[in-house]
């Protein structure tokens, strides 16, 4: 039984539950796209540009665990590298497949289009290696299966992006059919003795400590540890706090849940819990300048058990090669009960009081109405900007999902990522919160939501500028050209789509727009919410002040 190289890749994708791939065509990938189209159960989804294509795949990986984007050489791939950087930073397995020049031209000194104008075609591979955990260039039918399998295995094992380069005259070469897929899916077990020692050391550490708090970080999902963390919390009975980037990674209706730990912008009571703890079990944390509010909220030292995807550090003692999932699962079977920190009851965020119907729309009222939309079946994708702080302070029902991109923080990520996420999980109601500044980077991908009839609800927050930057460091560069955002949807419909563009300047206009959006099941609805520039969360102001101070530190000279 034989197939082609492109057919081999296509079959492997369906075997790992990828039923869509995102693509932008170019003459170096057309034959490959033909091969992918021929695969039953694999749909080709088109994007407006390659940056968006990469972000769409990143969003699909959030919904489905892995995704694939197909682009052309250089002019396409170099744009996609930015999104691949995002997937690396956010721990999402994305397979970027790039077409490439005909193999007969490699090493001949000939100059080809879409290259730097030199005869070196290796620079793309060299660049992409920095943002992937495995990268392969396929040159023949003999080497294709092993190279394709290797990158897929690495992407799944490490929850990170990978790269495949397939020259245009190679994609349809005959090659063997793929065999069973199990080998690509099997997890490498932790070294047994190291795991045992890590657990024994942690039990010893916990034996002397009463005020134990679990802190959930954003790497927990990539490490497949969400359920194991709940079991650990059930067993220990201690308080659980989450980091902002892990919003939604622990059920907020769980009796142990005590809100978001984020330094001076923590939920009520969460900072005191962490500050007063004598043991903090950090599961998959990312401590960066933003999450620590300018290095201030950075729990360190001998109170800490830091559990990373492949390493556990107990009060400074490191155990390498221990997987987060194995460790949290084992600890969940042996950890002592430690209810001290959970004795104070949960301090839920205060409910927001509704505004009278025809009052001018405020940020609080907008969030009250968006919050009311959240159910177990909702996925909210919240963009960099005040949308972070708004999303983080929502009280979430169980199984509601929030998607954030707090490590990479590329404005404009949310629209294409939500497009990919909705493609991968159409059974969920997708909501996007995006600022006007961010929207201007990737707005055109709303047209693909129209094309594929995805009923995403987009709240476009028009506060006339880059308000997060205004709060960090103000200047003329933070003020942008206004657009008729709602009007844009008709441009994208071009007489044929079911996209809806609406404007909300008052509380009742927003309520009416939401009702219309809920009924519009054959396309996206963009609701342009007009807010005063100064109407943002207090958290943004307080956090922005501290981050601004951190950025402004002068160089230290000795
Ligand atoms: C690609 C990229 N360019 C620039 C930035 C810097 N940046 C961070 S937030 C932001 C402004 C966001 O403005 P908006 O989307 O209107 O949200 P708001 O702060 O008003 O809520 C900018 C320019 C970035 N994060 N990513």
- Residue 301, exposed/middle/buried by CB under 10 A (0-12, 13-18, 19+)? exposed
Q: pTM for this one? A: 0.97
Per-residue pLDDT averaged across 231-260, rounded? 97
Structure confidence at residue 184 (pLDDT): 92
Per-residue pLDDT averaged across 360-377, rounded? 97
Q: For the chain, give the number of residues.
A: 558
State the average pLDDT for the chain: 96
Residue 349, pLDDT above cutoff 90: no
CB 42 within 8 A of CB 13: yes
**Winning range, highest mean pLDDT, from 184-188, 304-308, 348-352:** 304-308
Residue 513, pLDDT above cutoff 70: yes
Q: How far is the CA of 437 from the centre of ligand 1 (A)?
A: 6
Q: How far is the CA of 467 from the centre of ligand 1 (A)?
A: 8
Distance CA 426, CA 309 (A): 29
Per-residue confidence band for 558, with pLDDT thresholds at 50, 70 and 90: confident
Per-residue confidence band for 347, with pLDDT thresholds at 50, 70 and 90: low
Per-residue pLDDT averaged across 412-431, rounded? 98
Per-residue pLDDT averaged across 131-145, rounded? 97
Q: How far is the CA of 386 from the centre of ligand 1 (A)?
A: 9
Residue 341, pLDDT above cutoff 80: yes
Q: How far is the CA of 271 from the centre of ligand 1 (A)?
A: 27
> In the chain, what is the greatest distance between 2 CA atoms, to the nearest angstrom?
73
Q: For residue 135, give the H/E element and its range.
A: strand 135-137
Instruction: Tell which atom from ligand 1 comes closest to the C-alpha of 441.
Output: 1
Structure confidence at residue 185 (pLDDT): 92
pLDDT one-digit tens code per residue, 463-496: 999 999 998 899 999 999 999 999 999 999 999 9
Residue 433, pLDDT above cutoff 90: yes
CB of 421 within 6 A of ligand 1: the answer is: no
CB of 438 within 6 A of ligand 1: the answer is: yes
Distance CA 221, CA 236 (A): 21
């Amino acid at each position: 039984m034989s197939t082609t190289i492109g057919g081999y890749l296509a079959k492997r994708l369906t075997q790992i539950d990828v039923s869509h791939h995102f693509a932008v065509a170019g003459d170096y990938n057309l034959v490959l796209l033909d091969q992918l189209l021929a695969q039953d159960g694999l749909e080709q989804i088109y994007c407006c540009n390659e940056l968006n294509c990469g972000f769409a795949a990143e969003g699909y990986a959030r919904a489905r665990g892995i995704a694939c984007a197909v682009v052309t050489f250089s002019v396409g791939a170099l744009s996609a590298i930015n999104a691949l950087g995002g997937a690396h930073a956010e721990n999402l397995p994305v397979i970027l497949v790039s077409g490439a020049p005909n193999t007969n031209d490699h090493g001949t000194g000939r100059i080809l289009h879409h290259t730097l104008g030199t005869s070196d075609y290796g620079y793309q591979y060299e660049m992409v290696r920095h943002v992937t955990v495995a990268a392969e260039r396929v040159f023949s039918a003999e080497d294709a299966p092993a190279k394709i399998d290797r990158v897929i295995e690495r992407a799944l094992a490490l929850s990170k992006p990978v790269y495949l380069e397939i020259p245009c005259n190679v994609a349809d070469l005959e090659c063997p059919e793929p065999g069973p897929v199990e080998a690509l899916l099997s997890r490498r077990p932790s070294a047994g003795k190291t795991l045992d020692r890590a657990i024994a050391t942690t039990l010893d550490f916990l034996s002397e400590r009463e005020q134990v708090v679990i802190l959930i970080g954003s790497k927990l999902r990539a490490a497949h540890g969400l359920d194991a963390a709940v079991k650990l919390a059930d067993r220990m009975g201690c308080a659980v706090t989450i980091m902002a980037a892990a919003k939604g990674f622990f059920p907020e209706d769980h009796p142990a849940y005590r809100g978001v730990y984020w330094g001076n912008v923590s939920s009520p009571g969460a900072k005191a819990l962490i500050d007063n703890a004598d043991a903090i079990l950090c599961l998959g944390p990312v401590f960066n300048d933003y999450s620590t509010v300018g290095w201030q909220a950075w729990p360190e030292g001998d109170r800490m058990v830091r559990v990373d995807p492949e390493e556990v550090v107990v009060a400074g003692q490191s155990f390498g090669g221990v997987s987060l999932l194995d460790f949290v699962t084992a600890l969940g079977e042996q950890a002592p009960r430690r209810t001290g920190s959970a004795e104070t009851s949960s301090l839920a965020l205060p409910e927001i009081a509704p505004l009278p119907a025809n009052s001018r729309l405020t940020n609080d009222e907008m969030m009250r109405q968006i919050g009311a939309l959240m159910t177990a079946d909702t996925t909210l994708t919240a963009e960099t900007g005040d949308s972070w702080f708004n999303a983080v302070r929502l009280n979430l029902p169980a199984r509601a999902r929030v998607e954030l991109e707090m490590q990479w923080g590329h404005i404009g990520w949310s629209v294409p990522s939500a497009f990919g996420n909705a493609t991968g999980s159409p059974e969920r109601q997708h909501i996007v919160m995006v600022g006007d500044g961010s929207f201007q980077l990737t707005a055109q991908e709303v047209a693909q939501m129209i094309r594929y009839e995805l009923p995403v609800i987009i709240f476009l927050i028009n506060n006339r500028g880059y308000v997060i930057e205004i709060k960090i460091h103000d200047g003329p560069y933070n003020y942008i050209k206004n657009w008729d955002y709602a009007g844009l949807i008709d441009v994208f419909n071009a007489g044929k789509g079911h996209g809806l563009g609406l404007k909300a300047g008052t509380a009742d206009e927003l309520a009416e727009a939401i009702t219309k959006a809920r009924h519009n099941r054959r396309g996206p609805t963009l609701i342009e919410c007009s807010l005063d520039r100064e109407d943002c969360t207090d958290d943004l102001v307080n956090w922005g002040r501290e981050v601004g101070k951190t950025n402004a530190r002068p160089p230290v000279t000795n």
